[in-house]
Amino acid sequence: MEIARIFGGRELCGEVSVSGAKNAALPILAACLLTDEPCILENIPNLSDIRLMISILRNVGASVEYMDTHTLKVCAEDVTSRASYEAVKKMRASVCLMGAFLGRTGHSTVSLPGGCVIGQRPIDLHIKGFKKLGCAVAMHNGYLEVNGERMVGTRIFLGGRYGSTVTGTANVLMAALGASGTTIIESAACEPEITDLCLFLRKQGALITGIGTNTLTVEGGCKLHGCRHRIIGDRIEAGTFICAALMTRGRIAIRGNTPNISSAVYDKFEEIGASVRELDDGTILVDGTKQDLRPTEVITLPYPGFPTDLQAQFCALLSCIDGISIVSERIYPSRFMHVPELNRMGANIMLEESHAIIHGSSSRQLAGAQLMASDLRASAALYLAGLCAKNETLIQRIYHLDRGYEHFEGKLRSLGASIERIKEADAEPDGGNP
Ligand code: EPZ
């Protein structure tokens, strides 16, 4: 098992590039099943979740080959419509194969996804959408069997108690491509990753309007063809690097970002007094050197609100800012696994239901510690805390991080961080600074 070893206290300086967005690449990989012609995808991030999705596509009959380290050629000439429990249990996002299976074959048999540490992960809205299209849905031995041989386009309201559903929108959109007639999806997710999926589907020949809004209209029955598409930059990785620069009082330029970080995020950075500027090409300039940051309140919401995937990283940042900040999690109310670990480093964060009350301090430097990562974004928050903590931080179970951050240690080292990945057995107790 590998662990991350970080010696904190170094200012991050220089340039770094974000990879392609995981949460765009995953549904778009699934959407390659909608045509029997080859699709070429550029800017694919090298992540464990992507490798898992590739293995699932191969299992269902698609050919998937790397043209270079970040370009894939996918060809699904003849596919089945069943994804096994073995595959789905490792990655919940594989549920978005359901819509692709339905759009291509009219059938889908996919194991129900389990929950995970960030909360329950129901798919009732996905099922609602399938049923509205005329699908028969049944549960057998943990598998969701969906028969959509005679799907008919219709109007579907897809909003839930937590707002829109990202992969639910992807699923219903792809299924509707196999229906006859027009489908209107109201309260659709409009995250940039869904917009990227829509643009990919449009390149395949799909007729979709309302892209980028909460109402998507899609014509079913179009014959889809192969295409070439470049995945958007990862806005959550970009936001993570912004927090890293501010926490280490460094100065960085973040390249490869697609201009789609919502103004809710920039508004929050402005509110705390951070110097963060996005150029027309998406490059983000962060200057954490001259800062007198202020506390704030954050509420996570569906796009264009503040993204839940940046909540843990922002908690780490706020714990280093003098004053009381409040972070309210409206998407996954229990998504606070990072808090007990941050408190073990000396942060002072109290949890009250779905709120974190953060007594931040810029003078009480966090102290390095042995930490346990629990999920993807919590892992990132612990890395950030280690970067600005005194002495050595060791983080276990960093396989969680590998799901969504490509070569994260290398990118941080290129900015001046003292960070490495070592075998668990090689980690002695704190040997002091290098
Ligand atoms: C996507 O998950 C992302 N994953 C998540 O990113 C992200 O946190 C989430 O959207 C919210 O932005 C991918 O895109 C692969 P949802 P998804 O369906 O689609 C409830 C990361 O760190 N809900 O938008 O599974 C649900 O419980 C990951 O990269 C229902 O009630 O999330 C949640 O509270 C973590 N019924 C809220 O809606 C449903 O049928 C949003 O869920 C579906 C969802």
Can you state the angle between helices 166-176 and 97-105, rounded to 10 degrees?
0
pTM over 0.85: yes
pLDDT of 116 reads 72
Cβ(301) to ligand 1 under 6 A? no
Cβ(346) to ligand 1 under 6 A? no
pLDDT of 54 reads 96
- Indicate which atom in ligand 1 lies nearest the CA of residue 333: 34
Query: Scanning the structure block, which residue is given the tokens 């070439």?
Result: 228
Among this protein's residues, is 116 annotated catalytic? yes
pLDDT of 260 reads 85
Q: 6 vs 3, 236, 389, CA distance in Å?
A: 10, 22, 9
- Residue from 210, 199, 203 nearest 224 by CA: 203
Report residue 183: phi and psi, to 5°: -120, 135
Terminal C-alpha separation, the chain: 23
Q: Where are the domains of the chain?
A: 2-17+233-426, 25-230
Pocket test for ligand 1, best of 214, 240, 309 (most atoms within 8 A of CB): 309
pLDDT of 93 reads 86
Element (H, E) at 40: strand 39-42
Other Cβ atoms closer than 10 A to 157 = 14
**Ligand 1: distance of its center to the CA of 268 in Å?**
22
pLDDT of 434 reads 40
Q: In whole angstroms, what is the distance from residue 316 CA to residue 360 CA?
A: 9
Q: In whole angstroms, what is the distance from residue 110 CA to residue 139 CA?
A: 10
**Which CATH superfamily, name and number, covers 2-17+233-426?**
Enolpyruvate transferase domain (3.65.10.10)
- Token code pair at residue 400: 């969680």
Q: In whole angstroms, what is the distance from residue 196 CA to residue 92 CA?
A: 20
**Ligand 1: distance of its center to the CA of 29 in Å?**
18
Other Cβ atoms closer than 10 A to 31 = 31
Active-site option among 32, 116, 222, 227: 116
Q: In whole angstroms, what is the distance from residue 415 CA to residue 409 CA?
A: 10
Cβ(24) to ligand 1 under 6 A? no
* Domain at 25-230: CATH code: 3.65.10.10
Q: Are 34 and 105 in contact (CB under 8 A)?
A: no
Pocket test for ligand 1, best of 128, 235, 331, 401 (most atoms within 8 A of CB): 331
What is the per-residue pLDDT across 15-43, written as a single tens digit (0 to 9) for each?
Answer: 999 999 999 999 999 999 999 999 999 99
What is the per-residue pLDDT across 167-213, written as a single tens digit (0 to 9) for each?
Answer: 999 999 999 999 999 999 999 999 999 999 999 999 999 999 999 99
pLDDT of 431 reads 45
- Fold match between domain 2-17+233-426 and domain 25-230: yes
Q: In what order do the strands lie in the sheet with 71-75?
A: 63-68, 71-75, 39-42, 228-230
Cβ(162) to ligand 1 under 6 A? yes
Q: Are 288 and 246 in contact (CB under 8 A)?
A: yes
Ligand 1 atom 14, closest CA: 23
pLDDT of 432 reads 43
Q: In whole angstroms, what is the distance from residue 86 CA to residue 139 CA?
A: 17
Please identify every stretch of the chain with a pLDDT value under 70, giving residue numbers as ranges.
114-115, 427-434
